[in-house]
């Protein structure tokens, strides 16, 4: 087969700050997927994109080419609106669990294709797999049937969605090019657009526990992804949300499921409830539903009914006892005062080291491992009171987890913690 372009010419174009044509981009993604472009050549191109960027038309075409590398799902036969949410990842971010059934209460189908955790950020599928019997892998027919019957599904994405992205992501991970905003945006949006949802709400995290540490970078990523969604005909909005401190009072797997169920029962931590309700509002508005009251649906049990049906449909027992860690270790407050800071990254790394996360995709996780928080910033604490409980099946991990927490906490003798908004901005 004669190739239309040469990889070296395309690398030189981006190296020299040029603009790639639609035809060059289509060929590049297809040729890399076919193995015509070698990993070292795509690595060079990725680095050139990281350093020199892409314009909106280039990013849009790059995303379209990645979608075209695989299948695209179609939910039109459901006869109802669809909406999805994507979070860029954080610590204690169990929002998808109560959110999917909550939105489904109002007649909007939620096909939530989720992933597993890597490093300090937790994975939705890892959390749900702590429920006895629950399974993540569904066929397309099973997914469609569950959306029709229950209205919500949280499951693993099939291998047929944007296979070019899977290959590109693995390469970016080992070549120092993960941070390239055009490549992050196209990676996320190619999969979300290929999922076929009509509306998409993005939760772009900002802060120490997030991928984007500063607001400017997070805003650029959010604006890029919203533009990609709109270019593809998907009604897309984004929220910038705070990830300086963990969400809720748990970071782990089973303990986060437990907290999500508390929210579905009308309780739970204020920040988890606030973000769940706000994202539900955004998803419903984007799907064309007005006048809904998600907060009421949490209080009156309607969202819990959908949760129970959703878990049962995927083989899980929503009433089953969740796994518990065999060992625990308490971290105590070192002084009296006001808890001013509780660093999300430190807590995430501690949970990861305790066994709640993985360093490589193939590594197992412990269902019961993690960190349970007893105070959040703004609370008055006393020396010797519990600040956190560390949980694991392997007690030799406690020392390394404590090392991660060495600088996690700032306690001042007195004074107010500067107010921090959970929801920083909305981008549409």
Catalytic residues, by residue number, are 86, 165, 172, 187, 191
In sequence order, the 6+-apart residues with CB closer than 8 A to the CB of 203 are 85, 86, 87, 88, 93, 95, 238, 239, 241, 275, 279
In sequence order, the 6+-apart residues with CB closer than 8 A to the CB of 30 are 65, 68, 69
Closest C-alpha to 241, from 221, 264, 261: 221
Alpha carbons 29 and 156: distance in angstroms, whole number: 24
Alpha carbons 292 and 325: distance in angstroms, whole number: 39
Question: Are the beta carbons of 97 and 255 closer than 8 angstroms?
Answer: no
225-245 b/e (C-beta count within 10 Å ≥ 16 → b): bbbbbebbebbbbbbbbbbbb
In sequence order, the 6+-apart residues with CB closer than 8 A to the CB of 389 are 328, 329, 330, 331, 371, 372, 374
């Amino acid at each position: 087969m004669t190739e239309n372009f040469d990889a070296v010419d395309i690398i030189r174009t981006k190296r020299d700050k040029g603009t790639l044509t639609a035809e060059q981009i289509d060929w590049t993604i297809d040729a890399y997927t076919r193995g015509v472009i070698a990993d070292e050549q795509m690595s060079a191109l990725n680095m050139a994109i990281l350093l020199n960027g892409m314009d909106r038309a280039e990013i849009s075409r790059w995303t379209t080419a990645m979608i075209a590398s695989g299948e695209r799902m179609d939910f039109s036969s459901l006869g109802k609106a669809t909406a999805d949410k994507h979070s860029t990842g954080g610590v204690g971010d169990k929002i998808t669990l109560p959110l999917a059934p909550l939105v489904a209460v109002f007649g909007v189908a939620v096909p939530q294709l989720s992933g597993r955790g890597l490093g300090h950020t937790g994975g939705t599928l890892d959390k749900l797999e702590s429920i006895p019997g629950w399974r993540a892998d569904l066929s397309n027919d099973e997914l469609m049937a569950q959306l029709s019957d229950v209205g919500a599904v949280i499951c693993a994405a099939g291998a047929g969605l944007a296979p070019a992205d899977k290959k590109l992501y693995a390469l970016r991970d080992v070549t120092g090019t993960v941070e390239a905003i055009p490549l992050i945006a196209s990676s996320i949006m190619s999969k979300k657009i290929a999922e076929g949802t009509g509306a998409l709400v993005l939760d772009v995290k900002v802060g120490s526990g997030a991928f984007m540490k500063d607001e400017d970078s997070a805003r650029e990523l959010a604006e890029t992804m919203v533009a990609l969604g709109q270019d593809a005909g998907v009604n897309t909005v984004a929220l910038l949300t705070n990830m300086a401190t963990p969400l809720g009072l748990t970071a782990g797997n089973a303990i986060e499921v437990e907290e999500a169920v508390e929210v579905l029962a009308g309780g739970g931590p204020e920040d988890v409830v606030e973000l769940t309700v706000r994202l539900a509002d955004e998803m419903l508005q984007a799907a064309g539903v007005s006048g809904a009251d998600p907060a009421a649906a949490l209080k009156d049990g309607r969202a819990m009914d959908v949760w129970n049906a959703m878990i049962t449909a995927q083989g899980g027992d929503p009433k089953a006892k969740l796994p518990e860690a065999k060992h625990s270790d308490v971290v105590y407050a070192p002084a009296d005062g006001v808890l001013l800071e509780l660093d999300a990254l430190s807590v995430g790394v501690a949970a990861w080291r305790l066994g709640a996360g993985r360093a490589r995709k193939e590594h197992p996780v412990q269902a019961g491992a993690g960190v349970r928080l007893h105070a959040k910033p703004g609370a008055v604490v006393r020396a010797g009171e519990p600040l956190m409980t560390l949980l694991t099946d392997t007690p030799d991990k406690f020392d390394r987890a404590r090392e991660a927490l060495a600088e996690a906490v700032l306690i001042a003798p007195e004074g107010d913690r500067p107010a921090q908004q959970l929801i920083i901005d909305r981008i549409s």
